[in-house]
């Protein structure tokens, strides 16, 4: 009865109402920011006295925004590749390995995920100063890799656990070498896990603020850093314009992902 | 492939830092201030000396300390607050300036130290949103800032105390301007306690503008440049400069010549007076009085609200030598 | 599920864990240990940083704020997430898909963009205050930013998906027949909810709540943009100590306290999780 929507009676409307309110709550800031980006009030007065495209003009006139977006994309792409590769190896070790302390190791691998990013950021910043890695691409990649890796490991080992290794054995029986079996049988079978791990890793790096604030330099800053400094220093509606484009990008990616999924299921 | 490109980038970055001799890094607080500094200080300097000036920011005292400790100092000249520069000099975070190169005679002697010299003035002024106080008497004195009965609403102050809010509290409490120092901190905090729940502290210029413009905090103590920027944007903002110290001092002289303590003994010379003058022109509303907006008994004069297209922040600022290694 | 052809040699597979292990040792364990060690060595050796932190009402209030906000955020997200996850689990799938899309959209929208939106929405002249005034709920604007109310709203917004998604997974797996059985035995809806559905969903609520609580404890961006200076949380304290006050010792000490609490809760979560897996 409680698990059957049609038999809920009046409760059905209460549940639907809560759901609708929550959806509205989640949508409100997103729609708002889109509206704000077209408002002509410099001081974020809403509803604005009039509408304008000038914030988009300013956004594209300032090469630093585009540069920052490009830097973000580059770092996120490298992080994505490394995170999936290292995460895959680590997951194979955790799921298939036979050694003492696997559970401990698994817990350890996931700690960067639970540890407050602030702590990692401050600690890495001090360490990178000694190594001269602050403000470099390598520094950014390492910092983001640390926080992206746990998500990759969770996703990939989750996929590996549901994959029966005896299929791999079958391939070996049929004459494949163990590594060939891994590459040609296991990898395709867990490709959805790898794919999710890649997306997670990319987005974590793309959206990451706290580490990036500490790693950034004048010549190398990511989009969130640019947004952050603008928020702190200028608070201009250009931020709303940039955010709107980010929302748009998210929507496009989600639709693409949905289409891919649809295409696959057919 | 990925690994290769990573290594290549790392190498380029190191090569770049080795080639420091032909460039220097200037760090400031960002926003329109740094744009103006770039245009009127850095660009003329580069033209004269051939040394490129890279801009970084925002100024971050923690980063300076960390860089010095790690022996990897990336910043050459930094725009800081003067009180910080005094402490940091003592703490060994800064390198002494070479006054054989910098002409002290051109500097305001009050803002010359071994490690930093003043470069421009700014004021803290009372700002208010007229929409919130229409018809009634408008806030004029520091005491009005602390009078929540007469001027209800949140008030906003800069979160770092030196200088500003402490002096404001004491003036509001009736301490004559010429007897402010040494500051009676207990008395100041007691006065602040009377409006404690009504204070919103601002951390950056943009935030202060936003608080005022939105009416979140309809009254407060602001950098004068930020209020001028609000006015320039057509926001109705009341600026009250009532009873500040009016000292006819020409700001903008303090930028001196700067030696970069490099191993190559390379001296960077550049008389930036001209450049500083340009910076000042950009900054039309810079009041003539140095430092803080201080009341001096009833002598009130509304400052002509001149507009500027671009309004840099004005904050006390020190130039500091290359941080020690 | 053990492969019989690649027999289980003791120690096998450890090599594959090496890249991740070395990476984390070099760039996670050692740096964090370094930071924490500074808490007892700077400015001089000793525990004075901890004494200052735990002995001063000002700093204790920061910890109190942190726990209060994290607790509130956890409670509110749980209260909203449970009915939503429940509804999602039983709704017609096309409607549920729309709600899911909205949840994912908000989750993947840039964190700063969302927080920025709340900054503007919640200010005195902001949309939320206007709506509340127009509907007569309040007659003058209430302060919603630069205090813990703003932080709580902003963080509930960010944490909701992290509570809804695991809870949805748990409720979806509940066998409807169990609830049918409860109905057949004469349970009213309220009884079935309290005695059957809620207990069955508890593991999901617990793990979601722990996750949200732990994430909230160390959150930096939202408190610093929506909280205002007077209402600091621990993450801001750490950044302020290190960045503005150059006090690595105090920063390290605050980090250590935060770390201990976080790891203790993490251990609890692992235990709960393992307990369920068995």
The domain locations on chain B are 2-121+250-284+315-320, 124-240
Interface predicted TM-score (ipTM) over 0.95: no
**Cβ distance of A218 and B17 shorter than 8 Å:** no
Which pLDDT score, from 0 to 100, does residue A265 have? Answer: 61
Residues facing residue B23 across a β-bridge? B52
C165 phi and psi, to 5 degrees? Answer: -65, -50
Domain count, chain C: 1
Task: Count CB neighbours of C65 within 10 A.
Answer: 21
Residue of chain A nearest C90, judged by CA positions: A5
Indicate whether C170 belongs to any domain: yes
Quickly state the pLDDT bin for B8 (edges 50, 70, 90): very low
Q: Which range has the worst mean pLDDT, B75-84, B133-142, C262-271?
A: B133-142
Residue of C24, C79, C113, C164 to mutate when probing chain A, most A C-beta within 10 A:
C113
Lowest mean pLDDT among B220-234, C223-237, C262-276: C262-276
Q: Is the pLDDT of residue B265 over 50?
A: no
- Please, which pLDDT band fits residue B321 given cuts at 50, 70 and 90? very low
Q: Does A215 touch chain C (CB under 8 A)?
A: no
Cα–Cα distance for residue pair C33/B144, rounded to 1 Å: 51
- Give C-chain residues touching A2 at CB under 8 angstroms: 86, 179, 189, 192-193, 196-197
Inter-residue contact B212 to C121 (CB < 8 Å):
no
Assess whether pLDDT exceeds 50 at residue B18.
no
pLDDT at A96 (0 to 100)? 86
C59 assigned to some structural domain: yes
Which residues 41-60 of A are in CB contact (within 8 Å) with C? 44-46
- Contact residues for A176 (Cβ-Cβ < 8 A; gap 6+): A184, A185
Contact at CB, B207 and A232, closer than 8 angstroms: yes
What does the pLDDT read at residue C164? Answer: 93
Residue C17, domain member (yes or no): no
Rounded CA separation C174/B320 (Å): 67
Residue A197 in contact with partner chain C when CB distance is under 8 A? no
Show which of residues 53-92 on chain B sit within 8 Å of chain A, judged by CB atoms. Answer: 54-58, 66-67, 69-70, 72, 74
Judge whether B13 is closer than 8 Å to chain A, CB to CB: yes
Residue A185 has a pLDDT of: 85
pLDDT in tens, B69-121: 777 788 888 888 887 888 888 888 888 888 888 888 888 888 888 888 887 77
Is 70 exceeded by the pLDDT of residue B322? no
Mean pLDDT across B174-200: 91
φ/ψ region of B98 (left if φ > 0, alpha if ψ in -120 to 50, else beta) reads: beta
**Are B125 and B135 within 8 A, CB to CB?**
no
Residues of the domain holding C175: 43-277
Widest pairwise Cα distance in chain B: 73
Interface chains of chain A (3 or more CB pairs under 8 Å): B, C
Q: Is the pLDDT of residue B9 over 50?
A: no
Could you tell me the pLDDT band of residue C6, with boundaries at 50, 70 and 90? low
State the count of interchain CB pairs (< 8 A) between B and C: 38
User: Which residues on chain A are in Cβ contact (under 8 Å) with C126?
Assistant: 46
Of the candidates C96, C58, C34, C28, the residue with the CA atom closest to the CA atom of residue C237 = C58
Look at residue B150 in the predicted model and tell me its pLDDT: 87
The overall longest dimension of chain A from CA atoms, in Å, is 74
Closest in A44, A45, A136 to B13, CB measured:
A136
Domains of chain A: residue spans and CATH: 5-54 (no CATH), 63-235 (1.10.3720.10)
Of the candidates B110, B112, B223, the one whose C-alpha atom is nearest the C-alpha of residue B164 is B223
Is C37 part of a structural domain of the chain? Answer: no
Least confident of A12-26, B10-24, B240-254, C34-48: B240-254
Whether C184 has its CB under 8 Å from any CB of chain A: the answer is: no
* Structural domain includes residue C5: no
**Which of B15-24, B154-163, C51-60, C263-272 is predicted with the least confidence, judged by mean pLDDT?**
B15-24
Candidate ranges A1-10, B280-289, C227-236; pick with highest mean pLDDT: C227-236
Q: How far apart are CA C114 and CA A240, in angstroms?
A: 10
In terms of phi and psi (left: phi > 0; alpha: psi -120 to 50; beta: otherwise), the region of A236 is beta
Q: Considering only CB atoms, which chain C residues are within 8 Å of B61?
A: 243-246
List the single best residue of A43, A79, A221 to mutate versus B (max B Cβ within 10 A).
A43
C197 domain residue, yes or no: yes
Report the CATH fold assignment for B2-121+250-284+315-320.
D-Maltodextrin-Binding Protein; domain 2 (3.40.190)
Q: Is residue C2 part of a domain?
A: no
Residues of C in contact with B199 (CB under 8 A): 230
Cβ neighbours around A110 below 10 Å, total = 17
As to burial, measured by CB atoms within 10 angstroms (0-12 exposed, 13-18 middle, 19+ buried), residue A25 is: middle
pLDDT of res. B247: 30
Shortest alpha-carbon distance between residue B10 and chain A (Å):
7
Dist. CA B211–CA B226, nearest whole Å: 12
Percent of chain C with pLDDT over 90: 50
Question: Residue B203's beta-bridge partner residues?
Answer: none
Q: Which residues of A touch B20 (CB under 8 A)?
A: none
Helix segments in A62-190, DSSP class H: 63-96, 102-114, 117-131, 137-161, 165-173, 178-181, 187-189
Kindly report the CATH class assigned to B124-240.
Answer: alpha beta
Measured in whole angstroms, the distance separating CA A264 from the mean position of its chain's CA atoms is 23
Split at pLDDT 50, 70, 90, the class of B243 is very low
Residue C196 contacts by C-beta under 8 Å, 6 or more apart in sequence? Answer: A2, C178, C179, C182, C187
Q: Which chains touch B (3 or more CB pairs under 8 A)?
A: A, C
pLDDT surpassing 50 at residue B195:
yes
Contact C255, C145 (CB under 8 A): no
**Structure-model confidence comparison of residues C232 and B120, the more confident one:** C232
Q: How far is CA C195 from the centre of its chain?
A: 27
| C273 — pLDDT class (breaks 50, 70, 90) | low
Report the run of H or E that residue B239 belongs to, with start and end.
strand B238-240
CA distance C55 to chain A (A): 22
A23, two tokens = 């959806």
Please state, rounded to an integer, the average pLDDT across all residues of chain B: 67
How many C-beta atoms lie closer than 10 Å to residue A246's C-beta? Answer: 22
Please, are residues B31 and B205 in contact by the beta-carbon 8 Å criterion? yes
Tokens representing B139 are: 């806030």
Closest Cα in chain C, distance from residue B275 (Å) = 30
CB contact set of B194 (below 8 Å; sequence gap of 6+): B146
* Cα separation, B210 vs B205, whole angstroms: 9
- Rounded distance, CA B42 to CA B119, Å? 14
Average per-residue pLDDT for chain C = 88
Quote the pLDDT of residue A140.
Answer: 96
Give the 3-state secondary structure of residue A228.
helix
Tally the residues of chain A: 266
Is C123 within 8 Å of B63 when comparing Cβ atoms?
no
State whether the Cα torsion C74-C75-C76-C81 is positive or negative.
positive
Go through C67-97 and write b for each residue having 16 or more CB atoms within 10 A of its CB, e for each that does not: bebbebbbebbbebbbbbbbbbbbbeeeebe
DSSP for C195-217, please give it: IIIHHHHHHHHHHHHHHHHHHHH
**pLDDT class for A28, splitting at 50, 70, 90?**
very high
- pLDDT category at A1 given cuts 50, 70, 90 is low
Q: Quick check: A217 pLDDT over 90?
A: no
Length of chain B: 325
Asked if A30 and C117 touch (Cβ cutoff 8 Å), the reply is: yes
Nearest residue to C19 (alpha-carbon basis) of B107, A109, A76, A158: A109
C243 in reach of chain B (CB within 8 A): yes
Q: Name the band, by pLDDT with cuts 50, 70 and 90, for residue C274.
A: low
- Residue A83, phi then psi, degrees to nearest 5: -65, -40
Chain C closest CA to A266's CA: distance in Å? Answer: 18
Q: Cα–chain-centroid distance for residue C153?
A: 13
Q: How confident is the model at residue A113 (pLDDT cuts 50, 70, 90)?
A: confident
Whole-Å CA distances, B282 to A165, B105, B273, B311, C213: 71, 25, 14, 7, 49
Q: How far apart are CA A206 and CA C110, in angstroms?
A: 9
Which residues are within 8 A (CB) of B99 and not within 5 positions of it... i.e. 6 or more apart?
none
pLDDT-based confidence at residue A137 (cuts at 50, 70, 90): very high
Query: Closest approach of chain B CAs to the CA of A70, in angstroms?
Result: 15
CB-CB neighbors (< 8 A) of C244 in chain B: 61-62
Six-digit token string for B119: 């470069």
Contact C157, C148 (CB under 8 A): no
CA angle C14, C17, C19 (to 5 degrees): 130
pLDDT range class, residue B49, cuts 50, 70, 90: confident
Helix (H) or strand (E) holding A258: helix A238-265
Rounded to the nearest 5°, which phi and psi values hold at B14? -70, -40
Residue with tokens 């200037």: B26
Q: What is the average per-residue pLDDT within B169-178?
A: 90
pLDDT for residue B77: 87
């Amino acid at each position: 009865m409680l698990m059957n929507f049609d038999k809920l009676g009046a409760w059905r409307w209460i549940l639907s109402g809560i759901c609708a309110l929550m959806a509205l709550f989640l949508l409100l800031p997103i729609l708002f920011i889109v509206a704000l980006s077209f408002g002509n009030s410099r001081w974020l007065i809403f509803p604005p006295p009039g509408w304008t495209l000038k914030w988009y003009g300013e956004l594209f006139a300032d090469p630093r925004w585009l540069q920052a977006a490009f830097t973000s994309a580059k770092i996120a792409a490298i992080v994505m590749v490394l995170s999936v590769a290292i995460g895959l190896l680590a997951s194979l070790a955790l799921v298939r390995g036979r050694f003492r302390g696997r559970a401990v190791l698994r817990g350890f691998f996931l700690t960067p995920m639970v540890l407050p990013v602030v702590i990692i950021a401050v600690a890495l910043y001090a360490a990178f100063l000694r190594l001269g890695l602050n403000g470099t691409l390598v520094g950014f990649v390492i910092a983001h890799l640390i926080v992206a890796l746990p998500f990759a490991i969770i996703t990939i080992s989750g996929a590996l656990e549901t994959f029966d290794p005896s299929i791999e054995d079958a391939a070996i029986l049929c004459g494949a070498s163990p590594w060939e079996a891994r590459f040609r049988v296991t990898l395709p079978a867990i490709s959805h896990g790898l794919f999710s791990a890649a997306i997670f890793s990319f987005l974590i790096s793309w959206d990451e603020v706290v580490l990036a604030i500490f790693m950034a330099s004048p010549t190398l800053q990511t989009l969130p850093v640019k947004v952050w400094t603008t928020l702190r220093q200028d608070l201009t509606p250009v931020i709303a314009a940039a955010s709107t484009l980010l929302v748009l990008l998210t929507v496009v990616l989600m639709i693409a992902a949905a289409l891919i999924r649809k295409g696959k299921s057919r | 492939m990925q690994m290769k490109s990573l290594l290549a980038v790392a190498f380029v970055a190191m090569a770049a830092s080795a080639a420091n001799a032909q460039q220097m890094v200037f760090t400031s607080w960002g926003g329109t201030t740094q744009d103006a500094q770039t245009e009127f200080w850095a660009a003329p300097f580069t033209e004269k000396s051939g040394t490129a000036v890279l801009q970084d920011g925002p100024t971050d005292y923690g980063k300076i300390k960390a860089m010095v400790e790690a022996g990897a100092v990336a910043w050459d000249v930094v725009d800081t607050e003067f009180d910080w520069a005094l402490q940091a000099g003592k703490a060994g975070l800064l390198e002494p300036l070479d006054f054989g190169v910098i002409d002290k005679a051109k500097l305001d002697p009050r803002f010359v130290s071994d490690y930093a010299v003043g470069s421009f003035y700014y004021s803290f002024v009372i700002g208010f949103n007229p929409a919130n106080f229409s018809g009634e008497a408008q806030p004029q004195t520091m005491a009005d800032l602390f009078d929540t009965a007469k001027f209800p609403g949140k008030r906003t102050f800069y979160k770092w105390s030196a200088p500003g809010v402490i002096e404001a509290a004491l003036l509001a409490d009736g301490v004559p301007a010429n007897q402010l120092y040494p500051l009676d901190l207990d008395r100041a905090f007691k006065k602040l306690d009377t409006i404690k729940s009504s204070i919103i502290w601002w951390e950056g210029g943009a935030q202060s503008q936003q608080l005022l413009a939105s009416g979140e905090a309809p009254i407060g103590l602001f950098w004068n440049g930020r209020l001028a920027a609000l006015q320039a944007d057509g926001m109705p903002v009341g600026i009250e400069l009532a009873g500040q110290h009016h000292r006819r001092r020409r700001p903008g002289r303090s930028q001196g010549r700067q030696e970069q303590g490099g191993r190559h003994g390379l001296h960077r010379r550049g008389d930036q007076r001209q450049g500083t003058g340009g910076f000042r022109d950009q900054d039309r509303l810079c009041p003539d009085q140095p430092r803080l907006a201080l009341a001096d008994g009833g002598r009130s004069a509304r400052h002509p609200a001149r507009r500027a297209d671009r309004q840099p922040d004005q904050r006390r600022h020190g130039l500091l030598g290359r941080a020690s290694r | 599920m053990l492969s019989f052809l690649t027999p289980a040699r003791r120690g096998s597979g450890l090599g594959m864990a090496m890249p991740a292990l070395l990476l984390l040792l070099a760039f996670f364990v050692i740096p964090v240990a370094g930071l924490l060690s500074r808490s007892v060595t700077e400015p001089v050796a000793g525990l004075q940083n901890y004494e200052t932190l735990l002995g001063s009402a000002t700093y204790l209030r920061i910890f109190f704020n942190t726990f209060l906000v994290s607790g509130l955020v956890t409670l509110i997200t749980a209260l909203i997430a449970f009915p939503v996850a429940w509804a999602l689990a039983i709704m017609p799938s096309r409607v549920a898909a729309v709600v899911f899309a909205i949840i994912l959209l908000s989750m993947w929208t840039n964190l700063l963009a969302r927080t920025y939106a709340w900054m503007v929405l919640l200010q005195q002249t902001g949309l939320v205050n206007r709506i509340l005034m127009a509907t007569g709920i309040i007659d003058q604007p209430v302060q919603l930013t630069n205090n813990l109310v703003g932080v709580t709203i902003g963080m509930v917004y960010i944490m909701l998906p992290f509570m809804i998604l695991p809870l949805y997974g748990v409720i979806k797996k509940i066998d409807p027949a169990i609830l049918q059985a409860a109905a057949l035995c004469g349970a009213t809806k309220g009884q079935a909810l309290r005695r059957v559905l809620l207990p069955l969903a508890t593991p999901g609520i617990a793990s979601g709540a722990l996750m949200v609580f732990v994430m909230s404890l160390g959150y930096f961006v939202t408190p610093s943009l929506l909280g205002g200076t007077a209402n600091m949380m621990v993450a801001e304290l750490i950044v302020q100590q290190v960045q503005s006050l150059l006090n690595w010792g105090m920063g390290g000490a605050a980090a250590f306290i935060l770390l201990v609490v976080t790891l203790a809760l993490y251990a609890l979560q692992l235990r709960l999780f393992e307990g369920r897996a068995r």
